[in-house]
């Protein structure tokens, strides 16, 4: 048997970060088993599904590198096949026509509410003679759900879960206008796609029992189910917009690398011993459903930032330059010159040591293009005394070579000559060169900028 899994988002908005994790788990398990990972767009809600949302889903999955092994399937295009199965169930007595009016259904809901019970259909037309149907009413097709005994699903994450069959009412398979419902469409598509395992959020666990009955009614093999806990925010509540960014695209815009995002999502609810830094190759080798916990994972932004910083330090410098270049150009409102790009590339080793996002990296890289307006802390270092120290240093810099070791020696020598601490000279010099009180190695920055640019920046500060 070839293992086949699918990710099936609804294109009604962006790709939620929890959905991205679900896609990742399906992808990794399929690859771990040497199987196939598929993508299905569940666009049957025509009012809410949009082409923009479809594009956003594709964009986010491509960014994360979670690519399907076959062309994506669009559920709405298969509506006739779904209706065909509904009529098959009707023909073998596992479904029936229901002629209830909206008023009758509302009465059932009101009666259930009065008894503090969940709303449900009471089976009015389950065994009723269709010849007694009222004229002019287009019926829906309902599934004739078993009412005796119980059903136990051996969930790969939740363990055995049992529901009494009489707790499941007869769900609608085909609406009066002939359109299929979600519950039917999902089962038919999963069967036709040859899906062997279904990994999805545990908010779908109750759906699994209804879907299981459709599978058995059709004589189809039932996939293995694995319902994973949802992601919660730091406060323990379900992750939502009030916790911050919730879409995969937002994290891309915030400056996170896809490999860091995948590593972080992998560890949200799944573990392999004490391993935290896990490559995709290792994830594929190690991923097993047994490693998924039953408790909701909590999203920790600080941990994600630290993990992203790790991957930034590992990333290729040219790749990072290409990522931050448009961010810098947007901020300075012009294109970066070839020489400026070269300087940023030369300084990347020092720049990426402190950055935790590419946004931070871009902001810090601007020192190789221009000095930013001094912040309050940097401005405080430009005292008359410190400006005087820079004036004493300037002629010595004008006379020396601009290499790291020479610059350091000149700075130390000047500090000794004027009987001041090295920091009293280095601090205002850093502000003059970078516009900041904190930066990569000062001597590295100066040697990359070159003698003329460095001297110009110092002279600009002195002359103010």
> What one-character-per-residue DSSP string does 206-238 give?
HHHHHHHHHHHHHTPPPPEEEEEPPEE-TTSSB
Mean pLDDT on 74-90: 97
Average pLDDT of the chain, as a whole number: 94
Could you give the CA distance from residue 135 to residue 74 in angstroms, rounded to a whole number? 36
Alpha carbon 403 to its chain centroid, in Å, reads 44
Going by pLDDT thresholds of 50, 70 and 90, the confidence category of residue 46 is: confident
Q: Is 241 a catalytic residue?
A: yes
**Radius of gyration for the chain, computed over Cα atoms and rounded to the nearest angstrom:** 32
DSSP H helices in 315-450: 317-332, 338-351, 358-365, 376-380, 384-398, 404-417, 422-434, 442-449
Question: Average pLDDT in the 178-182 region?
Answer: 95
Domain boundaries, the chain: 1-71+229-314, 77-228, 318-370, 376-463
By CB atoms closer than 10 A (0-12, 13-18, 19+), residue 69 is middle
| 316-353 pLDDT, tens digit each | 999 999 999 999 999 999 999 999 999 999 999 999 99
Element (H, E) at 53: helix 51-64
Q: Is the predicted pLDDT of residue 356 greater than 90, yes or no?
A: yes
Task: Tell me, yes or no, if the two domains 77-228 and 376-463 fold the same way.
Answer: no
**Averaged pLDDT, 352-358:** 96
Tokens 């479809």 — which residue?
54
- CATH topology for 1-71+229-314 is Rossmann fold (3.40.50)
Q: Look at residue 98 and tell me whether its pLDDT is greater than 80.
A: yes
The band of 245, judged by pLDDT with boundaries at 50, 70 and 90, is low
Question: How high is the pLDDT of residue 119?
Answer: 87
- Name the band, by pLDDT with cuts 50, 70 and 90, for residue 183: very high
The fold of the 376-463 domain, in CATH, is Arc Repressor Mutant, subunit A (1.10.10)
Give dist(CA 74, CA 58) in Å, integer: 13
Position 103 scores a pLDDT of: 87
pLDDT value at position 415? 94
CATH node for 77-228: 3.40.50.620
Distances from the Cα of 307 to the Cα of 129, 176, 358, angstroms: 65, 52, 13
pTM: 0.92
Average pLDDT over residues 28-39: 98
Q: Which helix (H) or strand (E) holds 152?
A: strand 150-155
Per annotation, catalytic residue among 241, 330, 356, 421? 241
Per-residue model confidence (pLDDT) at position 463: 86
Query: 287: helix, coil or strand?
Result: coil
Instruction: Provide the β-strand partners of residue 74.
Output: 41
Question: From CA 344, how far away is CA 195, in angstroms rounded?
Answer: 49
């Amino acid at each position: 048997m070839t293992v086949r899994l699918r990710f099936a988002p609804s294109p009604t908005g962006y790709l939620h970060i929890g959905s991205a994790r679900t896609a990742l788990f399906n992808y990794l398990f399929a690859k771990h088993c040497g199987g196939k990972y598929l993508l299905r767009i569940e666009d049957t809600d025509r009012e809410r599904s949009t082409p923009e949302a479809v594009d956003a889903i594709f964009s986010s999955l491509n960014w994360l590198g979670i690519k399907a092994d076959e062309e994506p399937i669009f559920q709405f295009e298969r509506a006739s096949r779904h209706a065909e199965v509904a009529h098959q169930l009707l023909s073998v007595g596992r479904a029936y026509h229901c002629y209830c009016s909206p008023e009758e259904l509302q009465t059932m809901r009101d009666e259930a509410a009065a008894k503090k019970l969940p709303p449900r259909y009471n089976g009015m037309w389950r065994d009723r003679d269709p010849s007694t149907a009222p004229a002019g009413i287009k019926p829906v097709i309902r599934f004739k759900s078993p009412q005796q005994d119980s059903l136990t699903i051996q969930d790969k994450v939740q363990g055995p879960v049992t529901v009494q069959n009489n707790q499941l009412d007869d769900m609608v398979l085909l609406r009066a206008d002939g359109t299929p419902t979600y519950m039917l469409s999902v089962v038919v598509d999963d069967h036709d796609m040859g899906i062997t395992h279904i990994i999805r959020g545990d908010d779908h666990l109750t759906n699994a029992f209804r879907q299981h009955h459709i599978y058995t009614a059709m004589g189809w093999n039932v996939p293995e189910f694995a319902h994973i806990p949802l992601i919660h925010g730091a406060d323990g509540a379900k992750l939502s917009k009030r916790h911050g960014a919730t879409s995969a695209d937002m994290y891309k815009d915030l400056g996170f690398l896809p490999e860091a995002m995948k590593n972080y999502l992998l560890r949200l609810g799944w573990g392999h011993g004490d391993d935290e830094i896990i490559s995709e190759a290792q994830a594929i080798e190690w991923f097993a459903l047994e490693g998924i916990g039953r408790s909701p994972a909590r999203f920790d932004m600080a941990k994600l930032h630290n993990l992203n910083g790790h991957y930034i330090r590992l990333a290729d410098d040219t790749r990072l330059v290409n990522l931050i270049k448009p961010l810098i150009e947007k901020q300075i409102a012009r294109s970066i010159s070839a020489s400026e790009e070269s300087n940023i590339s030369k300084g990347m080793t020092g720049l990426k040591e402190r950055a935790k996002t590419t946004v931070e990296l871009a902001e810090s890289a601007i020192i190789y293009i221009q000095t930013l307006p001094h912040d309050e802390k940097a401005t405080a270092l430009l005292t008359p005394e410190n400006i005087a120290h820079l004036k004493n240093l300037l002629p010595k810099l004008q006379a020396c070579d601009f290499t790291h070791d020479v610059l350091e020696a000149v700075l130390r020598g000047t500090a000794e000559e004027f009987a001041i601490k090295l920091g009293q000279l280095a601090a205002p010099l850093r502000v003059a060169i970078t516009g900041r009180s904190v930066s990569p190695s000062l001597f590295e920055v100066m040697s990359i900028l070159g003698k003329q640019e460095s001297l110009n920046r110092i002279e600009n500060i002195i002359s103010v």
